[in-house]
Structure 1
């Protein structure tokens, strides 16, 4: 009888230990997922900051392009056929194209879907499924 009582006791401690281990692993997993979410959000905010910088740069270039295009138009009208005016027009057009490309890239990078912590959401779903399968 002593042996039976002795064998039941480790099983009870074993079950308690397993539950403690599972809770410890779940707690550690949650902590890691929060850290991952924080890291991913910081990364996305950095990308958003760069995108805003691109938009500001595009605005500056667009203003320069408008000045150059205006100067080119004035030169073209007053000096019809003079190479300097058409050159300024070409340069202004190229700057406008660069500004457009920068705006398109900046707007694309600022989409809300690109700022969401998608990797973390995917990991949390995977972890939840693994916990469900374990239980």
Structure 2
């Protein structure tokens, strides 16, 4: 083996080693980015859930008072108290069912997924494949 062959082998080995280091660093960076993105999304979701719980408690109190007022109004208008309570209860139950259906449909776990990281990984994989086929 001549000095040139030895240098070329060393050069190829060091290039391969360098490429492996870069890919390893890239994978680590993508994992860190995914972790940070998921953490940020979860923190935001937990904060929103806390606000929703507080709003639900306040809304239940207000709804209870308004329902009592509607029942009282219907009773004053001549509807029997039992029927007035039943009418108000059924109406509120239908509203609740519609809201539950809409909320369940809108709440998707996919909104918590690290979409930017997934896009970066696809782009990196395409770049690596492009470099491999071109090189």
Mark yes or no: TM-score above 0.5.
yes
Corresponding residue for 1:90? none
Determine if the alignment matches structure 1 residue 37 to structure 2 residue 34: yes
In 1, Cα distance between equivalents of 2:7 and 2:110: 52
Gaps of at least 5 residues in structure 1 are 81-99
In 2, Cα distance between equivalents of 1:41 and 1:14: 40
| 1:37–1:117 contact (8 Å) kept in structure 2 | yes
2:13 to 11, 16, 30: 16
Greater relative contact order (Cα < 8 A, sep 6+):
2
Corresponding residue for 1:116? 113
Moved over 2 A (4+): 70-80
Pairing 1:72-87 to 2, within 5 Å after superposition = 72-73=69-70, 76=73
Corresponding residue for 1:65? 62
In 2, Cα distance between equivalents of 1:63 and 1:107: 22
Deviations 1:12-71 (A, max 9, x none): 111001000000000000000000010011011112212321331231122122133035
Question: TM-score by structure 2 length?
Answer: 0.68
